[in-house]
Amino acid sequence: MKKAFEVAKWEYLQKVRSKEFIISIVITPVIFIAFSILPTLLADKDSDVPKAITILDSTGQYEDALRTSLEKVKLEDGQPRFLIPKNVVPKDGGVIEARKKLDDSVFNKSVLEAYIFIYEKIGFRSST
């Protein structure tokens, strides 16, 4: 049994003395710190400017309530946090085309920062 402990000790010391182990001991905390600090720094960027978003509600049931809730959120200077232009969902099933236009708008940052897409699950019927 004593020889097994000696072998385990020798293996451990060989691993601890390796360059990879020492580098990983230094880099791992740096990576954890970076992953915890960077999102905070990026989230605070431009936090005093209203963001333009829109709501694409294919059900037609949730847009008004969500819009009302989002309009209540204000910046420190009293401006609305979100500017929400009205978005009309085509009734003829043109949701895919509407999403493509919104994707382009968000990707190019031309008008919108983001959009919220609410869809009705296929096969699910509302009680209203």
Q: Could you give the C-alpha distances from 25 to 8, 10, 37, in angstroms and in order?
A: 21, 20, 19
Distance CA 126, CA 128 (A): 5
Residue-range domain boundaries for the chain: 2-44, 51-118
Instruction: Identify the band that residue 125 occupies on the pLDDT scale cut at 50, 70 and 90.
Output: low
Tens digits of residue pLDDT in 39-57: 877 766 656 788 888 888 8
Check whether 122 has a pLDDT greater than 60: no
What percent of the chain lies above the pLDDT cut of 90?
A: 2
